[in-house]
Chains A and B, each alone.
Chain A
Amino acid sequence: MSAPSNHDVIVIGGGVTGAGVARDLALRGVSVLLLEKGDWGAGTSGASSWMIHGGPRYLEFDWDTTRLSCEDAGHIVRIARHLVHRCVFLLPVLPGDRHGLERLETAMEVYDRFQPLKLAQPHARLDATQARLLEPGLAPDVLGVVTMEEWGVDPHRLVWANVLDAVRHGARAANHSRVTGLIRAAGAVIGVNYQAADGTRVEARARVVVNAAGPWVPEVAAMADAQVRLRPAKGIHLVYDRRLSNFAISGESIDGRDLLLVPHGPITVVGTTDDDFYGDLDDVGVAEDEVSYLLQGMARVFPAIRDHRPVRATAGVRPTLFAWRRYEDDLSRRFQVLDHGSGLVTIAGGKLSMYRLMAEQTADVACARLGVEARSSSSSRPLPGAEAELADPAELAREHHLPALAVARLQARHGGEAPDLLRESGARGRLVCRCEPLAEAELVHAARHEQVRTLADGFRRVGLAAGPCAGAACVERAAAILGRELDWSDSQRRQAVGEFLAGAWRGRAALLGQSGWAQEELAYGARRGWPTS
């Protein structure tokens, strides 16, 4: 056991909320230790719809949530401008739909009142002919389309940007560090025991411990004999290896739920399901019928989706606040900050687009306990990469002998810090993967400065193996690069590759039709012995 470290606050949970709490506190000058048992954003945040949206759906329930979501989305768009992209939704209306064009347009007219809060433009309405010019893959019987703007974001990079900013303001942050227990004295929580990434057991002390563990919140609270009730809800998404359309498209499932197809950078995400979840939070799988449910709903408005094959599926569990009897979709996405009065503060509920507000209010409670009077500045201070203007990608590409596409992708992750990153790594002109395309310099930087410890961390941080090859063409090379940077032995490198491919397989298994299985068999044979773990 190492000597205990001392902090003002320990934050448990490295999703977007925990990272946001750590950043908010660090910006106020509070000393923070942030712990994540897996990788940054590897849980609920990473399995989201990748949307910073205002929640027009909540107009039927709760306009305050819509207003709060839009206000905070506006803050996020400003502080993370390099990480967000405009998503323009086509909301098609088909014969027999629950909402006709007039009702739908009314809802968007109301939503337009909130749109300026998040720097978005008002809706438009197109007839069927014009709508099919915008998206020829829409169903032939579409009656018309109403449009709506939202913002998309790479949640993994958003989480990391918050972690990085916290660290740059004095916080300590450790991923792959699992809290094994809370330290208590005279009924108060005074610290945590955790197992660090290298397996060592560590004790850390703090005056306040923040439980920001998402769906694991009840588990952490129970360590202090506190009870927090959630109604966890599972959501899956299908991921396609390219933009199926330049526009996001809304659909409706067979049971009348809203579904979304959203292009984000070079991929398309289709989701989501919303089902009560009672299983193991550390092993959330995807079932074939969930895939069929999403495809059926989206194919009704966008039949072209049947011509493409998803490359992976993601599954996550929302930490929804507890309520009895309600249908899952009707549950509030509100959040609660709970001061257990024992040095433990829990943040529960909420959603990605309100993460900054959730973090600010949680930090307010922690600061009140600490007697810190500094106010939050997280809504106005830009995240790393958002301060400087972007350099010309073509010019950077020439300077570093890379394709401009690779540089533009890199800028979408690192913003104004891209030139320094490229100059520092020394890996001039080399790509790890041609189909993503990922510059070796970026992967080296991720290993040296972004706490990438596994190939899966590389997938989250820099899109390693996120392209059509799904790692087949690049994972060995990536393992060699990471192995060099992290001092892996040959057997560690082989094990890393095996673990990555086995994890990728789990993300694909529910998606394979007959031809997909044949391709998997071929890949298996080609790799002679994969998967090894």
Chain B
Amino acid sequence: MSRSSALARLAAAYAAHEVRRRSGRGGGRTTASAFETRYARDGLRPLTADERGGLPAMSGCINCGLCALVAGRPGGVRPADLATAYLRDYPLLAAAASDLGPGASMEAAAAACPVGVPLAEVSAAVRRLSG
């Protein structure tokens, strides 16, 4: 198929699209929640506005380990692991939910963090996305 033929077919499709739209027979709009439901099986859940805004700070862990000294390793997972390993691959978090033990004192861990990673928010985001 030549380029002119491809463009002609696209033009015809565009004309048909416009006729449908102007006659009110165009495709409907999807909502974010319907879209989320459609891709829930693939683990493709959107970040919330708060998570989006906080993600740069939540990504700043330097893995020094101070947080683990303060908060321990609930369920074998260090607070730093939540930031460096878990808050990366969101679609896999459901499969890894069994790693997440009872909540530790993330506020205390965050207070010990020398680079200001908001570990309580990290923990909340990981738990929401794994649910």
**A residues near B, CB below 8 A?**
59-64, 85-86, 88, 102-103, 105-107, 109-110, 121, 124-127, 130-131, 133-137, 147, 241-247, 265-267, 304, 307-308, 393-394, 397-398, 403-405, 408-409, 412, 434-437, 467-469, 473
| Residue of chain B at shortest CB distance from A265 | B89
Q: Report yes or no: B99 in contact with A60, Cβ–Cβ below 8 A.
A: no
Q: Report yes or no: A405 in contact with B32, Cβ–Cβ below 8 A.
A: no
Determine chain B's interface SS by DSSP, over half rule: helix
Task: Find chain B residues with CB under 8 A from A61 CB.
Answer: 3, 6
Smallest CB separation, B22 vs chain A (Å)? 10
Q: Given A126-B30, A409-B92, 5 more contacts at CB 8 Å?
A: A62-B1, A86-B44, A88-B39, A126-B32, A404-B95
Q: Report yes or no: A126 in contact with B31, Cβ–Cβ below 8 A.
A: yes
Mask of B11-38 contacts with A, CB within 8 angstroms, 1/0: 0011001100100000101111001101
The 9 closest A-B pairs by CB, nearest first: A133-B32, A405-B96, A266-B89, A242-B88, A266-B88, A435-B84, A124-B30, A307-B56, A394-B98
The answer, among A130, A135, A394, for a CB contact under 8 Å with B31, is: A130
Distance A127 CA – B34 CA, assembled complex (angstroms)? 13
**Residue B112 at the A interface, CB < 8 A?**
no
The answer, among A127, A131, A134, A241, for a CB contact under 8 Å with B88, is: A241
Q: Report yes or no: B9 in contact with A63, Cβ–Cβ below 8 A.
A: yes
| Residue of chain B at shortest CB distance from A241 | B88
Distance A85 CA – B86 CA, assembled complex (angstroms)? 18
Task: Find chain A residues with CB under 8 A from B80 CB.
Answer: 434
Q: Report yes or no: A133 in contact with B96, Cβ–Cβ below 8 A.
A: no
Determine chain A's interface SS by DSSP, over half rule: mixed
Q: Report yes or no: B47 in contact with A136, Cβ–Cβ below 8 A.
A: yes
Distance A63 CA – B2 CA, assembled complex (angstroms)? 9
Q: How many A-B residue pairs have CB under 8 A?
A: 169
Smallest CB separation, A25 vs chain B (Å)? 31
Smallest CB separation, B119 vs chain A (Å)? 15
Q: Report yes or no: B13 in contact with A109, Cβ–Cβ below 8 A.
A: yes
Task: Find chain A residues with CB under 8 A from B53 CB.
Answer: 136
| Residue of chain B at shortest CB distance from A243 | B90
Smallest CB separation, B45 vs chain A (Å)? 6
Known: A393-B96, A408-B95. A243 touches B81 (CB 8 A): no
Task: Find chain A residues with CB under 8 A from B96 CB.
Answer: 393, 403-405, 408
Distance A495 CA – B3 CA, assembled complex (angstroms)? 53
**Residue B116 at the A interface, CB < 8 A?**
no
Smallest CB separation, B28 vs chain A (Å)? 8
Mask of B41-82 contacts with A, CB within 8 angstroms, 1/0: 011111111001101100101010000000000001110110
Distance A346 CA – B89 CA, assembled complex (angstroms)? 39
Q: Report yes or no: A62 in contact with B6, Cβ–Cβ below 8 A.
A: yes
Distance A241 CA – B58 CA, assembled complex (angstroms)? 12
| Residue of chain B at shortest CB distance from A246 | B44
Known: A102-B21, A127-B29, A468-B63. A86 touches B98 (CB 8 A): no
Q: Report yes or no: A403 in contact with B56, Cβ–Cβ below 8 A.
A: no
Known: A307-B55, A308-B59, A405-B86. A245 touches B47 (CB 8 A): yes
The answer, among B42, B78, B88, for a CB contact under 8 Å with A243, is: B88
Known: A127-B29, A434-B81. A63 touches B48 (CB 8 A): no
Distance A274 CA – B86 CA, assembled complex (angstroms)? 34
Known: A130-B30, A405-B96. A103 touches B14 (CB 8 A): yes
The answer, among A64, A126, A246, A409, for a CB contact under 8 Å with B47, is: A246
